[in-house]
Amino acid sequence: MKITLVKYQKFFMKILILFFISISPLIAQQDSQVEKITLAVMDFKNNSAQFRHDRLEKAIPEMLKTELSYDHNILVVERSKIESILAEQALAQSGVIETTEAQEVGRLAGAQYIITGEVNTINSRLRIDAHIIKVSSGQVLGEKVNGKDRETLEPMVKLLAQNIIFNLTGKGERKSYAKIHDYQSKWAAIATGAASIATIVLHFQYKNYYDKYHETNRLDQFDRYYSDANRYYKTRNIFMIASGIAALTALTLWQNDRSEMNKIYADNQIETIPQKLSIGLAMENRDYRVSLKLSF
């Protein structure tokens, strides 16, 4: 009986292997039939009047090309080819070219789209504008992103690339903003809840032995009840302080997570969240009191 089952298992495994081998060319053919989008990315222009942003003229396009090339439906023209065409056409690789000139560069590079852009600073925030030019018609589509400063450049370029990919392929979704860091405040909130529950349990244990200590008439139980009550009292206070620290940490992380400084935007609206957080720790009659205040 076991030999028969083994034979059937081998037979079905062979059938499955043959099935996957037979459909793999169909999957590959379907993938190859998807039309690739060829695009070229020009150097951006620094319009911020800040010389320290000059290096972004080349850095942003290179980072953008890397992000765009992750999509297997997009082909990015090599920089050397663009520079060769610009040299032949006597154009500057600076991002400042007319739409008709960009169309000509794109046509010579074999690109369907060409991306130009600028770097600006508005209200001390860094802003990147990208212009997606369709080579065949000269139609221009704009995308932008703004963030705190150059330290947020990488997530800014990633958001910009994601929105460009959505505009060109329809894949994914267009995002109006993205967070720079995920502060995971929920884990601090869970720790706060766990420490608070432990504090409550320990408090009832302390009260239980404390009452027994005052109610007992047996001399041999005085020391034991006193020792147990004292041990639970100290442990409860430790967990009470820990729950207060965890609560403060959770609120701080929650504030940072919602902060404007933790977001980059692809739209004009910038959310401002004024918040004030205060914490107090006091001792009264051998008990600790923790007070938290969050105002909006």
pLDDT confidence band for 270 (50 / 70 / 90): very low
Q: What is the pLDDT of residue 144?
A: 92
Burial zone of 164 (CB within 10 Å; 0-12 exposed, 13-18 middle, 19+ buried): buried
Phi and psi at 280, nearest 5°, equal -135, 145
pLDDT at 181 over 70: yes
What radius of gyration do the chain's Cα atoms show? 32
- Mean residue pLDDT of the chain comes to 79
Residue 97 near residue 59 (C-beta atoms within 8 A): no
| 229 in Cβ contact with 206 (< 8 Å) | yes
Place of tokens 């963030």: 147
Q: What is the 3-state secondary structure (H, E, C) of 159-213?
A: HHHHHHHHHHHCCCCCCCEEECCCCCHHHHHHHHHHHHHHHHHHHHHHHHHHHHH
Of 268 and 278, the structure prediction assigns the larger pLDDT to 268
Token pair of 151, please?
């330290």
Write out pLDDT tens, residues 124-134.
Answer: 889 999 999 99
Q: Looking at per-residue confidence, does 200 or 294 come out higher? A: 200
Report pLDDT digits (tens) over 97-151: 677 777 888 888 888 999 999 999 888 889 999 999 998 888 899 999 998 888 8
pLDDT at residue 62, as a whole number = 93
The DSSP bridge partners found for residue 144 are 129
What value does the mean pLDDT take over residues 200-216?
88
pLDDT at site 281:
47
Tens of pLDDT, residues 74-98:
999 888 888 787 777 766 554 456 7
Count of CB atoms situated within 10 Å of the CB of 66: 13
At residue 145, the pLDDT reads: 92
Q: Is the pLDDT of residue 2 over 50?
A: no
pLDDT at 48 over 90: no
Q: What is the pLDDT of residues 287-296, one digit of tens each?
A: 555 555 544 4
Superfamily assignment of 36-175 in CATH?
TolB, N-terminal domain (3.40.50.10070)
Query: Can you tell me whether residue 127 is helix, strand or coil?
Result: strand
Which residue, chain included where needed, has tokens 């690339």?
Answer: 161
Model-level pTM? 0.64
Contact between 87 and 50 (Cβ < 8 Å): no
